[in-house]
Structures are given as C-alpha cells and as structure tokens.
Amino acid sequence: MRRFTTLCSSLLALLQLLLVLHLVAQVAADLITALTDQEIEELALLSKPERLEPDGEFLAPFLVKRVPGTEGNRQVQKFILEQGKKLGWFIETDSFTQDTPMGSIDFTNIILTKHPQAPARLVLAAHFDSKYFAPGPADFIGATDSAVPCALLFDLAFSLDHYLDQFTDPYTTVQLIFFDGEEAFVGADPNDFIWGSKHLAAYWERPTLFPATPSAVPYKTPLEHIDLMVLLDLIGAPAPIFNDYFANTSDYFHALAGLESRLIKLFLVSRHKSYFKTDRQFVGGIIDDHVPFVQRNIPVLHLIPHPFPKVWHTTKDDADALDHLVIHDFSILMRVFVASYLKAHPTPAPSISKMSPRLR
C-alpha cells in the first residue's frame, strides 16, 4: 500500500510538471506569435541607433561617475527626471538616507509609469549608480554596468510611447524603475549591496492608493501591481550569453529567444547566432536588484549575461568596451518583446521613415 501511495504521488508530481511545461510552452508560443512580420518590421523602423551611441542623447548622460550621494549621481537623477517629464509619464521618487560602510548616504530610486491608473505593470528596471572605487589614474564609469541598460530603457519608452498612447487595454501598463545603490561600497559587508531595491521592495509592501485613482484599489500593495519585472544589467559588451535563471519566468525567457529567432529570419538584427542559452537552466545565484523582489514572490526575468563581461568592475568598463551592434540588437528585441507582451499592435506613426530596417 505504501509503495502504491508513493507511486501515485510520483505520477501526480510528474503530471503537474508536464502541465507546467505545457503552460510554459504555450505562454512562450503566444508571445512569439503575437505580432505579424509586418508589425515587427514596423517596430524595427523606430530604431534611432544614434541615441545609443557614446555621445548619444540617451547614453552620454549615464557615461559619468555616478556613485550614490555624489554630484554625478544627482546629475543623472536630474536627467532621468527630465526625460520622465518629456515623456509625460507619472513620476515617483523613493528617497532615503542609509548608514553604509562609507557613512550616511542619500539614495533615490526613480519610477516612471505610463498609465498609473492601470492595475498591472510590466516593469523594466536597471540601476543607474556606478561602483565606488578609491581615487586612481582612471575613473570607473560602468558603461555596461549599467549605463547601457538605463539608456535602453529610455530608448524603449520614447520609441513605443506613440503606440502605448493608442493601446486600449486598460489593465496593463509599462513602468520603468531606475534603482540607486545597487553596487557595494566596500564588499566585505554582506549587507553592503542593492540598497535601493531593498528599500523600494520593503516600501512597496505597504498598502497604498493608486496615484490618480484614489477610489480604485484592486490590490493591497504596489508590489501586487507587478505582473512581471524585467531587470537589465551588464549589457553592451561583445558576444553576451544570457541564461534562464528562474523556472517561473522561463516561458518569458524562451519567448525572448523565439522573438530573437524571428528577428534573425527577418534580417533585423546584426547576427545569426542566438544570445540566449535555452538548452538548460542556470544553476547558481547572482546578487542583483531582483533579489528583494524574488524574496517577495515577484516574477523576475533577469537579463544579465553570464559569464560577466571581461571588463566587469574594472576601469576598462567604459565607452570603448561597448559593441554597438549588440546594443542596437537589444533595443529592437526589447521593443518587440514589450509590444508582444502587451499585444500592442503597432500602426504607422506619421514621423516614421520608410527606409528598410533590414540588416544584411
């Protein structure tokens, strides 16, 4: 009888696993096929690669020292807020002072939301601070860590804003989070990291009212507005390899890989080899801004390459370390992913050039 019970339990677990795998495959398939080839090409036409060049309007402001609590960090905050105002998105700040190994430091997370009245958010996030290093012959800039990811968020927001205005689904909106204080100051203290994300995740556990709609509170906390968080980090170096880190977002990871395959077939990206390792899940842990959210059961798609770029946490992580074709590929891929996720079918914008987006 005990053997029979054990066998039944094993079969039930197997059936549950097969069901989960089926659902994962179905979600990925739905995302991959949400848009037509023509719609994907329309999204690719939105690209303005010059905005993501080292002297471009979205990347250049981040290619500076921006250690928390410094003037460089405050100038980057000012830039983020200015772009949020240009977009016309709802702006929130989460400012706090924290004791650190470097003394008392001021931090500010910045949140931009397209439609704050929507009850669900597709969150795209990156950290805007740079790591502290003792003064030396060269400054640490952190071009991949994470100037490029921040620039990609603005490229995404500005390129899709026209379509999001036309998007009629009142349920889901796009939200950008720029985290401060991701980097450790010293590193010896196990608590000396992800200062901003720890604070925001804890703060968002508290019940609050929707901005702009105080009478409608379908969820208890801001955390429960998050449908999916996509965290970008260490992007921009040549030949990155992205791994499938979490089982509960494996469907979205595979969807990204599937969308990349469509872009390759349409000659809309620069290379014909995938950036995504889909044959197995990554074993091990990476400490990043997703951790406080994963601990609170928020689904996170973590887009960080492993192995890390060779220039990671060195002064060589500057503009010279960047591969601009990789950056351009990711700007298109993230645009198509977000439009597919929202099922926001693009219609031609008046200002779009009809020059072919295809790359040969």
| Token output for 136 | 């030396």
- Confidence (pLDDT) at 17: 47
| Alpha-carbon span 160 to 173, nearest angstrom | 12
- DSSP letter for each residue of 268-322: -SS-SS-SEEEEEE--S---STTHHHHTTT--EEEE-BSSPPTTTTSTT-SGGG-
Out of 8-12, 104-108, 162-166, 342-346, least confident range: 8-12
- Confidence (pLDDT) at 187: 77
Instruction: Please check whether residue 164 is in contact with residue 114, taking contact to mean a CB–CB distance below 8 angstroms.
Output: yes
- Confidence (pLDDT) at 351: 46
- Confidence (pLDDT) at 283: 72
Report, as an integer, the average pLDDT of 225-254: 96
Q: What is the number of domains present in the chain?
A: 1
CATH number of the domain enclosing 157:
3.40.630.10
* Residue range of the domain that includes 64: 35-206+222-342
Confirm whether 30 is domain-assigned.
no
Over the chain, what is the mean pLDDT? 88
Report, as an integer, the average pLDDT of 13-36: 67
pLDDT tens for residues 136-156? 889 999 999 999 999 999 999
pLDDT above 50: residue 77:
yes
Share of the chain above pLDDT 90, in %: 73
| Token output for 356 | 């072919």
User: What is the model's pTM?
Assistant: 0.89
pLDDT above 50: residue 119:
yes
pLDDT band for 15, please (50, 70, 90 cuts): low
Alpha helices in the chain (DSSP H): 2-32, 37-44, 71-87, 148-166, 195-203, 250-265, 291-294, 324-342
Confirm whether 359 is domain-assigned.
no
Rg (CA), the chain: 21
| Token output for 60 | 């250049």
Q: Name residue 127's beta-bridge partners.
A: 179
Confirm whether 277 is domain-assigned.
yes
pLDDT band for 170, please (50, 70, 90 cuts): confident
Active site residue 129: no
Confirm whether 53 is domain-assigned.
yes
pLDDT above 80: residue 4:
no
| Alpha-carbon span 51 to 60, nearest angstrom | 9
Confirm whether 93 is domain-assigned.
yes
- Confidence (pLDDT) at 100: 95
Confirm whether 314 is domain-assigned.
yes
Confirm whether 9 is domain-assigned.
no
Q: Which of 233, 318, 323, 329 is catalytic?
A: 233
Q: What's the number of CA atoms in the CB half-sphere (13 Å) around residue 218?
A: 7
Q: Which of 145, 180, 182, 323 is catalytic?
A: 182
Closest CA to 50 of 40, 60, 65: 60
- Confidence (pLDDT) at 154: 98
| Token output for 87 | 């977009």
Tokens 């791994």, located at residue: 243
Confirm whether 25 is domain-assigned.
no
Active site residue 182: yes
Could you give the dihedral angle defined by the CA atoms of residues 117, 119, 124 and 127, in that order, rounded to the nearest 10 degrees?
Answer: 70
Angle between helices 37-44 and 250-265 (to 10 degrees): 80
| Alpha-carbon span 317 to 329, nearest angstrom | 20
